[in-house]
């Protein structure tokens, strides 16, 4: 797992680490038992303070997704993967085809992101249960 920190986006680095870890858990890139990079490794590769990574890992631990093992590192406890979102799923294939069409039509990355965000908002509106927080599912479970 390698993190990419966008310093222009306005999202704090620790939150980017949390979100990227959750995305990897959803896509099956990370599975239970996998070891996350150490705070020192993330600091070296992303030029962030080790405490930034530790803060992100503590948040993931509070959500029950990872567990620290003293002297060994931080390990994935549970997955967020859905078989329908796997690398070999028909839905991913259809999305890849759509992305190819968008690129061929001349859409830039930002155009695609805006279009996807708009449709996502239409199809998955924030519910009263989540208080509009997209990181919480309708069942009240953190995503």
97 part of a folded domain:
yes
* Model pLDDT for residues 46-96, shown as the tens digit of each residue: 999 999 999 999 999 999 999 999 999 999 999 888 777 666 778 878 889
33 in the same domain as 62: yes
CA 90 to chain centre: 21
Report if pTM > 0.75.
Answer: no
Q: Which residues contact 56 (CB under 8 A, 6 or more apart)?
A: 14, 15, 17, 18, 21
Domain range for 102 is: 83-123
Q: pLDDT confidence of 28, banded at 50, 70, 90? A: confident
Task: State the total domains in the chain.
Answer: 2
In a domain, 130, yes or no: no
Structure confidence at residue 86 (pLDDT): 65
Asked if residue 63 and residue 109 are part of one domain, the reply reads no
Quick one: 23 and 62 in the same domain? yes
CATH of the domain at 71: 1.10.10.10
89 domain residue, yes or no:
yes
Tally of CB atoms within 10 A around 124: 11
Q: What is the pLDDT of residues 103-124, one digit of tens each?
A: 999 999 999 989 888 888 888 8
Q: 73: closest CA among 49, 44, 40?
A: 40
């Amino acid at each position: 797992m390698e993190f990419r920190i966008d310093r222009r986006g306005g999202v704090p680095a620790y939150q980017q680490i949390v979100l990227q870890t959750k995305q990897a858990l959803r896509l099956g890139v990370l599975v239970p038992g996998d070891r996350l990079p150490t705070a020192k490794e993330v600091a070296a590769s992303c030029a962030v303070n080790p405490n930034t990574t530790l803060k992100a890992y503590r948040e993931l631990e509070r959500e029950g997704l990872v567990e620290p093992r003293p002297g060994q590192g931080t390990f994935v406890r549970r997955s967020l993967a859905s078989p329908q979102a796997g690398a070999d799923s028909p839905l991913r294939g259809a999305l890849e085809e759509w992305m190819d069409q968008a690129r061929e039509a001349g859409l830039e990355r930002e155009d695609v992101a805006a279009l996807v965000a708009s449709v996502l908002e239409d199809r998955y509106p924030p519910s009263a249960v989540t208080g509009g927080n997209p990181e919480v599912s309708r069942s009240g479970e953190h995503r």
